[in-house]
Structure 1
Amino acid sequence: MAEADIVLHMTGVRKTFGPVVALSNMDLTVRAGRVHTILGENGAGKSTLMKILAGVQPPTAGEITLDGAPYYPATPQEAGARGLAIVFQELSLCNNLSVAANILATREPTRMGFISDRKVTAQARALVRDLGLPIDVTAQVGDLSIAQRQLVEIAKGLSHDAKVVIFDEPTSSLSDSEAEILFGIIGRLKAQGKAVIYISHRMEEIMRLSDDITVVRDGKYVDTVAREDTTIDALIAMMVGREMTEIYPPRIGEAPDPQAAPALRVTGLAQTGAFEGVSFEVRHGEILGFFGLIGSGRSEVMNALFGTGVARGTVEIDGAPVTIRSAAEAIEHGIGFVTENRKEQGLVLSHALRPNVSMAALPRFSSRGFVRSRAERREALSEVDRLGIRTNSIETVTGTLSGGNQQKVVLAKWLATRPRILILDEPTRGVDVGAKFEIYRIIRQLASEGTAILMVSSELPEVLGLSDRVLIMSEGRVTQTAPRDTLTPERVMTFATGHVQ
């Protein structure tokens, strides 16, 4: 490949925060018309690298060029003006504004010095149509699902012309059909000669999309390889520094007796406009997977079970009818809920890790209205060790942790409640393959201890790799519930798309 193809070049880039080295001697060469994946575990330095390129943080040392000219943007606006666009994993949207207003934020068309809402809507609608995204630009972002908000983030990132487009975990909350739309967009960007930097933990899509792959570990450059010259096993070994012989750990002990009394029985659960007639059972020690495309109603069912969504129907826990009208009542009944939206619903990002771990189980750590700090610290330290959370201290502000480590803190928070029934809504969203293995191991261990687990996931291999049985939804209805070993990916997608004869 000719040197003229090089769009972005980095040599010896270093970033430190006081004594902490986030990046050390990072090298990267990105070429026009190619997809260059950056691969590494959470905490490897990927986010720091992207923030440098996006103008959020300056490098401490090193050289960066864009189109052969020095490139050290002081602000995201300057980075955009130089031709770099970024689609962030962590949503940067205003929930109280419309989709159109978010897409064109800071670049709204005006009329006589005032923002023209009509032009904003028209331009956003044209962009969404060209991209093939199934979203209504007049809807308020706060009313959208996480997956729909991710599509808005993609549209926002592509709303102005760019030479380099960075996608940071863009499919982390998308189902297969929405991901296919994104892959088509990336193909068109390549055909237009754009350079694409792609960050993902989904190995199958990395092998499908990538032309070049750079691996980073512990803030250091490891190697750059062509996609056709490597394998998933080789990439994982470079990324984590060890072999990963089995991503999905085997079941511990015997599967639950299908004739045993259910831990949770749901009959005729319904929520107007979201889902209808949902019935299922899950037993102690069983993992019941939930799969469906965006709009299928799977997450809405979980919110209803946890008391954060109003629904009709019957719910029984260990054979006794219960009415759950709030999250507090759900916790009292032994239900934990790892939400898909850790940023808004799972954590208090401005607080330290320690109180985030204990907040859902404060009665365990309180006496006469006061928190027993020693017990609280002991629990936080235990969960940090158990889940392999990367932090210097349990007093570290949670918002400063990587996305994957934040997800582990959400899991730790609910494990501290000692749940009998645990709802996992996208439990590995934005988590690297090494951390996924640890979370899968914990899920298996919890099931072996008798916890009944409801697991929602957009990753079909994850659903089929962990579940004992799979419940499939389409357009708010259950289309099939079957043992995992009777299902294939093709059969699951047939039921998920509603194409059932």
Structure 2
Amino acid sequence: MAQTSDTSPTPLIETRGLTKRYPGVTALNAVDFDLRRGEVHVLFGENGAGKSTLISMLAGASTPSEGEIRLDGRPVAFHSVADARMAGISAVFQEFSLVPTLSVAENIFLGNELKTGPFIDRPAMRRAADALFARLDFRIDPRRRVSDLSRAEQQMVEIAKALQGEVSLLILDEPTASLTDREVDHLFRVVTAMKAHGVGIIYISHRIQEFARIADRITVLRDGTKIGTYPMQGTDEATLVELMAGRAISEIYPAIAHAPGAPLVTIRGLNAWGVNGIDLDIRPGEVLGVAGLVGSGKSRAFRAMMGLLPVTAGRVVWHGDASDRDVTGISTRAMMAAGAYYLPPDRKTEGLQLAFTVRDNLAQGVLPGLTGRGLLPWPRIRKTCEQVAERVELPPAYRGRLAAQLSGGNQQKTLFGRGLGRDYALYVFDEPTVGVDMGARAAIYRLIRDLAEAGKAVVVISSDLPEAMNLAHRLVVFSRGRIAAELGRDGISEAAVLAHFFAEEEEVA
């Protein structure tokens, strides 16, 4: 496949030999990149490929070790994010920068407050925020406190904040990870409108299926080095995966043997906040896929089962070796003691201890299965942690690092590792690969295969439809707090799943 050659006028922004070194590692190595006015240029690569390093320098969050950044053909040096913002460059990073205790409007205008004389004009900021949300077609009350918003709503506020003011270059880092399909459509309409007004957009996402909708060109990075820049037209997903990961897309999703047993857990008439009368069987030796839009209740149902949300009606029964046990409404700790592990969707706020090393995080998963009376068996704990690290494919060099210093993929592997420190019978993986590249996904999918083939019951809750469809032996589709459909392996198709996403909404409308 041929790379593109730049015969256009002066790029909006370009880099020449851009390099970033940290002690002991070169994060970005002599990368040439350019963005034209009115185009969407995708940066594509695995975690650790250099994407975040490149955009952090373009957005003024860090400075290059070598190389040059040129804006409208002139060399520039950004010493802060504020410098870049004054030059018309705005970024929405993967990690949110909102202040939880402030209102939505206050966050959008933070550092650029509207005033009447010496006083902050909060009504004016609310009106301006309302107008901005109306343009984006996002339904959020600007008076709400950010801490009361869902993750999807916080993502929308981040996007709105980036678009406040004059923007000539917009950087979007995984902007759709927490959005529903309809919200993604809204965002893409905004992106298209901005392109028409000459705004250049750098777009980062692991969702390859999005690229055909909005991308003009794609630059692929691997291990801090530029592999090439390619036109979106004529470039397919399989080629991109091979360029990014050095492996074919057919190698990403493993074949998983299907040997379901009698139900391990039965759920009958389960009601909780946002969950209305769920009936479901969870079987060992099977991957149960769970699909649905954000807000459909797919996560809440299993959080209620795990004791993370109050159950208001219904029963959850655990079918153990000795006898059946009603586990409705018991604590999360008690559910884990019964044999269930839950991997939360937000690894930073609910999953990992970011200030702990990888080994310490893994030890937290090992300890409940090894401790008893007397002294802790530390040699055994350390040995088990090393075995778990090998199993989740965490390189030895990373095991002594703080979890906060790892890429998203290695953080997710660490979170998986915490669940492998004990022998659980049921594993519930809620958004197991959010923000994770294809290479790390392949490793996580192999772990899911190994667990199911070892006779464990595995639940995969995912907003990534190809993931849910390719891993599941049986797939349930949630809509409006209910199970809209249950599909066997032969009945799983994109058309069937999408039809049930909106079926109940159409009936109610």
TM over 0.5, shorter chain: yes
Cα deviation for residue 339 of structure 1 reads 0.8
Whole-Å separation in 2 of the counterparts to 1:328 and 1:429: 25
**Contact 1:380 1:394 (C-alpha < 8 Å) held by counterparts:** no
- Please list, as runs of the form range in 1=range in 2, the aligned pairs for 1:310-329 lying within 5 A after superposition: 310-312=310-312, 313-318=314-319, 319-329=324-334
1:168 and 2:169 matched: no
1:241 and 2:242 matched: no
Unaligned runs of 5+ in 2: 1-5
Whole-Å separation in 2 of the counterparts to 1:159 and 1:98: 16
Cα deviation for residue 347 of structure 1 reads 1.1
Cα deviation for residue 9 of structure 1 reads 0.5
Whole-Å separation in 2 of the counterparts to 1:304 and 1:164: 43
1:206 and 2:206 matched: no
Give the letter aligned to residue 301 of structure 2.
Answer: V
Cα deviation for residue 316 of structure 1 reads 0.7
**Contact 1:150 1:174 (C-alpha < 8 Å) held by counterparts:** yes
Whole-Å separation in 1 of the counterparts to 2:183 and 2:343: 23
Measured against aligned partners, the alpha-carbon deviations of 1:400-439 in whole angstroms (never above 9, x if no partner) come to 1112221221111122232211111111101111211111
Whole-Å separation in 2 of the counterparts to 1:67 and 1:391: 44
Whole-Å separation in 1 of the counterparts to 2:152 and 2:468: 18
Aligned match of 2:228: 223
Measured against aligned partners, the alpha-carbon deviations of 1:217-263 in whole angstroms (never above 9, x if no partner) come to 111111111112432222222212233433321113x331xxx4211
SS at match of 2:264: strand
Whole-Å separation in 2 of the counterparts to 1:390 and 1:476: 41
For normalisation by structure 1, the TM-score amounts to 0.94
Correspondence for 1:48 among 50, 53, 71: 53
Correspondence for 2:259 among 233, 255, 276: 255
SS at match of 1:4: coil
- Please identify, of 117-126 and 79-88, the stretch whose mean Cα deviation from structure 2 is larger: 117-126
Cα deviation for residue 6 of structure 1 reads 0.7
Whole-Å separation in 2 of the counterparts to 1:322 and 1:24: 54
Whole-Å separation in 2 of the counterparts to 1:98 and 1:325: 35
Cα deviation for residue 396 of structure 1 reads 0.2
Correspondence for 2:99 among 94, 101, 123: 94
- Please identify, of 140-149 and 296-305, the stretch whose mean Cα deviation from structure 2 is larger: 140-149
Give the letter aligned to residue 330 of structure 2.
Answer: R
Cα deviation for residue 148 of structure 1 reads 2.2
**Contact 2:366 2:385 (C-alpha < 8 Å) held by counterparts:** no
Whole-Å separation in 2 of the counterparts to 1:243 and 1:44: 18
Q: 1:46 to 1:380 in 2, by over 3 A?
A: farther
**Contact 1:109 1:120 (C-alpha < 8 Å) held by counterparts:** yes
Cα deviation for residue 30 of structure 1 reads 0.8
Q: 1:114 to 1:392 in 2, by over 3 A?
A: farther
Aligned match of 1:267: 268
Whole-Å separation in 1 of the counterparts to 2:217 and 2:269: 50
After TM superposition, which residue ranges in structure 1, 4 or more long, deviate above 4 angstroms? 367-371
Whole-Å separation in 2 of the counterparts to 1:267 and 1:354: 39
Aligned match of 1:68: 73
**Contact 1:30 1:195 (C-alpha < 8 Å) held by counterparts:** yes
- Please list, as runs of the form range in 1=range in 2, the aligned pairs for 1:107-122 lying within 5 A after superposition: 107-122=112-127
**Contact 2:365 2:417 (C-alpha < 8 Å) held by counterparts:** no
Aligned match of 2:286: 286
Whole-Å separation in 2 of the counterparts to 1:324 and 1:360: 23
- Please list, as runs of the form range in 1=range in 2, the aligned pairs for 1:485-500 lying within 5 A after superposition: 485-497=490-502, 498-499=504-505
SS at match of 1:214: strand
Whole-Å separation in 1 of the counterparts to 2:37 and 2:374: 62
1:420 and 2:425 matched: yes
Cα deviation for residue 370 of structure 1 reads 4.9
Q: 1:491 to 1:243 in 2, by over 3 A?
A: closer
SS at match of 2:265: strand
Cα deviation for residue 474 of structure 1 reads 1.5
Cα deviation for residue 399 of structure 1 reads 0.6
**Contact 1:347 1:410 (C-alpha < 8 Å) held by counterparts:** yes
Measured against aligned partners, the alpha-carbon deviations of 1:365-419 in whole angstroms (never above 9, x if no partner) come to 4454654433333333333322223572312011111122212211111222322
Whole-Å separation in 2 of the counterparts to 1:495 and 1:234: 31
**Contact 2:10 2:72 (C-alpha < 8 Å) held by counterparts:** no
Aligned match of 1:478: 483
Give the letter aligned to residue 281 of structure 1.
Answer: D
SS at match of 2:9: helix
**Contact 1:308 1:326 (C-alpha < 8 Å) held by counterparts:** yes
For normalisation by structure 2, the TM-score amounts to 0.93
**Contact 1:424 1:454 (C-alpha < 8 Å) held by counterparts:** yes
Whole-Å separation in 2 of the counterparts to 1:102 and 1:305: 35
Q: 1:8 to 1:306 in 2, by over 3 A?
A: same
Q: 1:281 to 1:29 in 2, by over 3 A?
A: same
Q: 1:468 to 1:136 in 2, by over 3 A?
A: farther
Identity of aligned residues (%): 37
Whole-Å separation in 1 of the counterparts to 2:233 and 2:385: 44
Whole-Å separation in 2 of the counterparts to 1:391 and 1:39: 26
**Contact 1:354 1:376 (C-alpha < 8 Å) held by counterparts:** no
**Contact 2:365 2:420 (C-alpha < 8 Å) held by counterparts:** no
Give the letter aligned to residue 425 of structure 1.
Answer: D
Give the letter aligned to residue 460 of structure 2.
Answer: M
**Contact 1:207 1:232 (C-alpha < 8 Å) held by counterparts:** no
Q: 1:320 to 1:178 in 2, by over 3 A?
A: same
Give the letter aligned to residue 280 of structure 1.
Answer: L
Whole-Å separation in 1 of the counterparts to 2:10 and 2:193: 18
Cα deviation for residue 115 of structure 1 reads 2.4
**Contact 1:336 1:417 (C-alpha < 8 Å) held by counterparts:** no
**Contact 1:391 1:401 (C-alpha < 8 Å) held by counterparts:** no
